């Protein structure tokens, strides 16, 4: 059988559609890779091989019937995939990495999972997350810590850290995640893969309690930009009961340059790029990360882009993010936090979640009115900046992958990080703008640790953003460098 470990999702789906590989074979290979590498990285926390192999066999039978009748199968027909352990999967436990939900088994799929399954995906398991997806380091009291395939002493970031590690280790080529404060982008940077936070409503979401929520977005990670576009093409599109749903169909992401066999030469002629590794002095950033951003700017300039050192004024973005996150934590977890903290033992929820939710409890009407005004000014400033620029180029993670035994980096450039959000400002400030953003591999540190750069476009310009990211990826090919297989053999 073909070695499936490092194929893209497009390549695997093509083999499956042509019958050169069966879904059962692909699923067995997927589980074999989990067995080989997961003892080292601890990325996949729940599996159900019996269910998945039965689904795969049904996909194989459906393919035979479709070919006999001259019908096409869905784009992801038979592709095995784990899902983030914050996304409900009917009949398979979804824990949010919390002891509170350790045995919870949903009866319905999350809408994103449902769309993936409608596109043909075989659900195989769940990937690890921080407890309640809070914090950009993937550890929790239920499953433990996920570590980096490039160096198992280092963090994979979070909250989509489990899927980031799974992609980097060859378990699967792409997967779903979510991003409030960088949870798709930071793990992408730490794991040498791609992670995209879409515009609000691009992938319809119906969070319980507040269907108008805008700060957290669902999206995808993959080893290639083209695979992110493929999954977007299958899951984007209007949702009748989603009030923020963008009406464009997913087909807008079916771009010719991403198709197999495309004759593609990267060209960014005329694209206007603003460069700001520290976002105008708002960030502490390690020197090797800054160097990677300047090197990325040099590459896009050689591809024809017009580059200047300019950034939008994001001085109000930090407060917008802080207030909105606290408000959203109350909407999502307020009742649970109240009931848990009232327990004699103090509850089963980690302190970072309690802290963020308590910030939300303390908000006043005046705070919320000031927040709306601040967010309006930020929106206007961002829009004005994008009148003269197409893309902002900045860093994704301000630091290199850090010691996995830490909760977060204690300092950057000697400056103490006082809480778990401060070291994530490069992504949190962008989240506050509502802009789509993508992290793309941009090289490695002197010690062999991955570094990503972040590209940002105006709200709604997701397709244009993917095109720029694809050109950079094609010109650099950093994602072609995989972890050392000896790492897995030594620890399995």
- Active site amino acids: 84, 159, 183
Q: How many CA atoms lie within 13 A of 261 on its CB side?
A: 1
Q: Hey, which residues does 222 pair with through a beta bridge?
A: 174, 194
Tell me the two tokens of residue 363: 């908000």
Backbone φ and ψ for 127, nearest 5 degrees, come out as -105, 150
Backbone φ and ψ for 67, nearest 5 degrees, come out as -65, -35
In order of 65, 93, 277, 463, 489, the CA distances from 235 in angstroms are: 25, 22, 32, 14, 36
How many Å apart are CA 442 and CA 396, to the nearest integer? Answer: 10
Cβ-based neighbours of 214, under 8 Å, separated by 6 or more: 200, 244, 324, 434
Tell me the two tokens of residue 435: 């802009």
Evaluate the omega torsion of the peptide bond into residue 117 and state whether it is cis, within 30 degrees of 0: no
How many Å apart are CA 205 and CA 215, to the nearest integer? Answer: 11
Q: What is the largest CA-CA distance in the chain?
A: 66
Is the Cβ–Cβ distance between 167 and 452 less than 8 Å? no
The DSSP-derived string for 444-467 is: E-TTS-EEEEEEE--TT-HHHHHH
In this structure, the number of other CB atoms found within 10 A of the CB of residue 386 comes to 21
């Amino acid at each position: 059988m073909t070695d499936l470990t490092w194929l893209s999702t497009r390549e695997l789906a093509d083999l499956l559609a042509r019958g050169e590989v069966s879904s059962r074979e692909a699923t067995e290979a997927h589980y074999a890779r989990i067995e080989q590498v997961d003892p080292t990285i601890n990325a996949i926390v729940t599996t159900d091989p019996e269910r998945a192999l039965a689904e795969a066999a049904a996909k194989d039978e459906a393919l035979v019937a479709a070919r006999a009748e001259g019908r096409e199968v869905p784009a992801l027909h038979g592709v095995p995939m784990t899902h983030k352990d914050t996304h409900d999967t009917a009949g398979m436990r979804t824990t949010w990495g919390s002891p509170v939900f350790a045995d919870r088994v949903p009866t319905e799929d999350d809408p994103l999972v449902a769309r993936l399954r409608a596109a043909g995906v075989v659900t195989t398991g769940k990937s690890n997350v921080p407890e309640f997806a809070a914090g950009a380091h993937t550890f929790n009291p239920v499953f433990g810590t996920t570590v980096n395939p490039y160096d198992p002493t280092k963090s994979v970031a979070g909250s989509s850290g489990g899927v980031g590690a799974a992609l980097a280790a060859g378990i699967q080529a792409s997967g779903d995640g979510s991003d409030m404060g960088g949870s798709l982008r930071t793990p992408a940077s730490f794991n040498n893969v791609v992670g995209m936070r879409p515009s609000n409503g691009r992938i319809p979401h119906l969070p319980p309690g507040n269907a108008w929520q805008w700060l957290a977005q669902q999206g995808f990670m993959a080893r290639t930009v083209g695979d992110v576009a493929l999954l977007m093409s299958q899951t984007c599109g209007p949702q009748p009961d989603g009030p923020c749903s963008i009406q464009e169909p997913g087909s807008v992401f079916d771009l010719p340059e991403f198709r197999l066999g495309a004759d593609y030469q990267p060209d960014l002629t005329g694209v206007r790029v603003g460069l700001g590794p520290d976002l105008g002095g708002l960030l502490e950033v390690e020197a090797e990360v800054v160097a990677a951003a300047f090197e990325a700017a040099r590459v896009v300039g050689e591809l024809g882009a017009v580059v200047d050192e300019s950034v939008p004024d994001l001085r109000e973005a930090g407060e917008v993010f802080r207030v909105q996150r606290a408000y959203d934590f109350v909407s999502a977890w307020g009742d649970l936090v109240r009931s848990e903290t009232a327990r004699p033992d103090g509850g089963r929820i980690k302190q970072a979640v309690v802290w963020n939710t308590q910030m939300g409890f303390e908000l006043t009407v005046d705070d919320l009115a000031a927040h709306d005004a601040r967010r309006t000014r930020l929106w206007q400033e961002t829009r004005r900046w994008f009148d003269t620029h197409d893309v902002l180029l900045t860093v994704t993670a301000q630091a290199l992958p850090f010691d996995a035994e830490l909760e977060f980096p204690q300092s950057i450039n000697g400056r103490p990080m006082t809480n778990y959000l401060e070291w994530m400002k490069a992504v949190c400030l962008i989240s506050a703008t509502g802009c789509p953003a993508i992290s793309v591999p941009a090289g490695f540190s002197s010690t062999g640790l991955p570094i990503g750069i972040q590209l940002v476009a105006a709200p709604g310009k997701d397709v244009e953003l993917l095109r720029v990211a694809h050109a950079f990826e094609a010109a650099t090919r950093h994602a072609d460098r995989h972890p050392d297989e000896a790492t897995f053999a030594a620890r399995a």
